[in-house]
A and B are shown apart, each in its own frame.
Chain A
Amino acid sequence: MISSLVTAFVVGGFICVIGQIFMDVFKLTPAHTLSTLVVLGSILDGFGLYEPLIDFAGAGATVPITSFGNSLTHGALAEAEKHGIIGVLTGMFEVTSSGISSAILFGVIGAFIFQKRKTTY
């Protein structure tokens, strides 16, 4: 169990390091960085590499935003395997991402309960 925590830490941290390199070295904005990482996750899943990473690192691979690209691609591929080319579309519509739905839900709740804060430093 502790080894799972350590691998989650190392793999998750490493994905963040890739993001930091995008931001610092290639001077990308956070939005560019995140979009690039999502595309990266989706490509990795195309090669069948992301699921093994999740098996290995657990939350270290499911928590970073790369897993969002992975889960969409995974859903599309799973349907495509069953129904051929049309499955690519239906598979993507089938996938529900808890990240997006929870962000929407908690975003509205957050807007409802939190007031603007005093600026501090």
Chain B
Amino acid sequence: MDQQQFQKIVDEKNPKVPYFLNILKAFIVGGIICTIGQLLTFFYMRFFPFTEGTAANPTVATLVFIAMILTGTGIYKKIAQFGGAGSAVPVTGFGNAVISAAIEHKSEGYVLGVGGNMFKLAGSVILFGVLSAFVVALIKTILVSIGVISW
């Protein structure tokens, strides 16, 4: 049996990914998390001196706090198995990646374990965030300075 035949069998036997169902689940879970975020935004605007622009910060921090509780109690994993990207893309997913790694590597101590491994999953997000921000801002600044576009 050669490689091609084998690959054909493998492709045949691979279960179909339920694309539509996964997308629907991601939409619902992601939407619910963002709606909770919006409710928190209203809460912070109503009772604290935050405007629409500044209320995003305490909202994000609160969502990460909720993610910590859900991660520590093992609930976030179940939400993620259901929601897929719906739970990974909101900032709670970022929080979950950091917090789960921190809890997991506690056994190696706080410096080498927690400190060293906290960003092993989420580090790439920070890297690409900073890198792309730099590149985008640089390109735009250059384009503005040679007069192609304006601010």
Tell me the A residues contacting B by CB distance below 8 Å: 1, 4-5, 8-25, 30-31, 33-35, 37-39, 42-43, 45-46, 54-55, 57-60, 62-69, 72-73, 75-77, 80-81, 84-85, 87-89, 91-92, 98-104, 106-111, 113-114, 116-117, 120
Contacts and interface: CB of A to CB of B under 8 A. Distances in A.
Nearest to A54: B56
Contacts of B151: 77, 81
Given A12-B34, A103-B94, A111 B103 contact: yes
Given A20-B23, A85-B142, A12 B35 contact: yes
B79 interface: no
20 contacts: A9-B35, A16-B83, A19-B88, A33-B88, A46-B140, A62-B59, A65-B94, A72-B129, A77-B136, A99-B61, A99-B94, A102-B64, A103-B64, A103-B122, A104-B98, A108-B102, A111-B99, A114-B103, A116-B104, A117-B73
B42 A1 contact: yes
Contacts of B121: 30-31
Q: Closest 5 A-B residue pairs measured CB to CB?
A: A12-B34, A16-B30, A13-B31, A19-B85, A59-B37
Contact of B132 (A73, A91, A102, A109): A73
B20 to A, nearest CB: 10
Interface of B: 17, 19, 22-23, 25-35, 37-42, 52, 56-61, 63-65, 67-68, 71-74, 83-86, 88-95, 97-99, 101-106, 110, 114, 118, 121-122, 124-130, 132-134, 136-142, 145, 151
Given A17-B23, A106-B64, A110-B72, A59 B85 contact: no
B124 A34 contact: yes
Nearest to B96: A103
Contacts of B68: 106-107, 109-110
A72 B106 contact: no
B145 A38 contact: no
